[in-house]
């Protein structure tokens, strides 16, 4: 039998502004070297379903970590209360997210098992942040799972701190895997087409997959949006993508 | 979708009851997004909060669109009626 032990635990890491922030990590106990994966949680928070995904990446053979992006607003709070507190304050500023993602990448590279390569993957609002990390953070692969407002403009008077990133496409420095549901409204199929055109026109390395019969959050096994066919194919694409670049 | 769609109001002279009893409310956010508990992809969610008392000072509801419409009508009726008292 192959040795398949995994360690999962909550740790404190240094994030934006050198703040001590909470993170959840899962790592294979087998010796390295191996790549690292930063999992970016969705807007509803740093919840148990996201932590399951972190453990899944460890089972796949990566050192994985998910930063609690709401550490500062609600240290120690229940994930749903933390998400509500963060939303009431306008969400997570991009600059702070980038600082936290850089801290997570630094933490992964500091592990004795690290091969120096790090990827990011984010869901929903985290999909947009995964794209942003491909621009701002030293990562070797980024996966955007149905992130809204990478292109497109939020409505007037929008209270959350979320700006489109279309003008940052030329700066993208990591290969991008995009996984999208055709029934999604944010991002809509037209938004996905627009992003793909920008990537193509700028000569970026990318791979997009669009799933019929799937909307937003089709990876979310605890929600009615779950679509096993799309999710299973998506996981295969993620495994192949990280296998290639990490 | 993570719609991000959020409305926020200041709440004055109002109270809510959370797990640790009554507390004065400061803000309410209203948004259409994934619920934590209700059995729909998206719900109309309302968080009544008192940020000065920490993230646990929260009264939360997740309403189906139909129930949210009924609540809206009930609020409208009640507020109009209150003006005549």
pLDDT in tens, A41-76: 998 889 999 999 999 999 999 999 999 999 998 888
Chain B residues with beta carbon closer than 8 angstroms to that of A224: 39-41
Say if A1 falls within a structural domain: no
Q: Convert A168-201 to b/e letters by CB count within 10 Å (16 or more is b).
A: bbeebebbbbbbbbebbebbbeebbebbbebbee
Give helix A94-109 / helix A125-136 axis angle, nearest 10°.
Answer: 70
Phi-psi region of A45 (alpha: psi -120 to 50; beta: other; left: phi over 0): left
The pLDDT of residue A183: 95
Closest approach of A114 to chain B, Cα-based (Å): 33
The residue in chain B having the minimum alpha-carbon distance to the alpha carbon of residue A156 is: B5
Is the pLDDT at B1 greater than 60? The verdict is no
Binary contact (B47, A77; C-beta < 8 A): no
Q: Report the CATH number at residue A106.
A: 3.40.50.1820
B2, B29, B56 member nearest A42 (Cβ): B2
Which structural domain, as residue segments, surrounds residue A204? 6-245
Q: Three-state SS for A199? A: helix
Instruction: Give how many domains chain A has, as a whole number.
Output: 1
Q: Residues A10-24: pLDDT tens digits?
A: 999 999 999 999 999
Burial (CB count within 10 angstroms: exposed 0-12, middle 13-18, buried 19+), residue A138: middle
Query: Do you know the residue count of chain A?
Result: 246
The pLDDT of residue A88: 86
β pairing state of B43-49 and B58-63: antiparallel
The residue in chain A having the minimum alpha-carbon distance to the alpha carbon of residue B9 is: A88
């Amino acid at each position: 039998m192959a040795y398949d032990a995994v360690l999962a635990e909550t740790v404190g890491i240094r994030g934006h502004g050198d703040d001590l922030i909470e993170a959840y990590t899962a790592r294979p106990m087998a010796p390295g070297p191996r790549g690292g994966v930063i999992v970016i949680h969705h807007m509803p928070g740093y919840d148990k379903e996201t932590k399951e995904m972190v453990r899944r990446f460890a089972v796949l053979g990566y050192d994985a970590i998910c930063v609690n992006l709401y550490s500062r607003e609600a240290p120690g709070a229940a994930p749903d209360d933390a998400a509500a507190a963060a939303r009431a304050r306008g969400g997570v500023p991009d600059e702070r997210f980038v600082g936290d993602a850089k801290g997570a990448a630094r933490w992964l590279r500091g592990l004795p098992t690290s091969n120096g390569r790090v990827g990011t993957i984010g869901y929903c609002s985290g999909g947009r942040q995964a794209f942003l990390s491909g621009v701002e953070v030293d990562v070797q692969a980024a996966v955007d799972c149905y992130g809204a407002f990478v292109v497109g403009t939020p409505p007037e008077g929008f209270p959350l701190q979320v700006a489109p990133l279309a003008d940052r496409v030329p700066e993208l420095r990591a290969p991008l895997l995009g996984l999208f549901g055709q029934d999604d409204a944010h991002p809509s199929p037209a938004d996905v087409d627009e992003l793909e055109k920008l990537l193509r026109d700028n000569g970026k390395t990318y791979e997009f997959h669009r799933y019929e019969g799937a909307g937003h959050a089709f990876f979310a096994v605890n929600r009615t949006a779950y679509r096993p066919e799309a999710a299973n194919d998506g996981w295969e694409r993620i495994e192949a993508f990280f296998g290639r670049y990490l | 979708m993570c719609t991000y769609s959020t409305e926020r109001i200041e709440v004055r002279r109002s109270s809510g009851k959370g797990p640790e009893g009554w507390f004065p409310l400061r803000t309410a956010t209203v948004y259409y997004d994934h619920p934590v508990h209700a059995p729909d992809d998206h719900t109309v969610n309302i968080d009544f909060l008192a940020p000065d008392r920490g993230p646990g000072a929260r009264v939360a509801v997740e309403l189906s669109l139909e129930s949210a419409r009924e609540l809206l009508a009930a609020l409208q009726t009640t507020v109009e009626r209150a003006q005549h008292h």
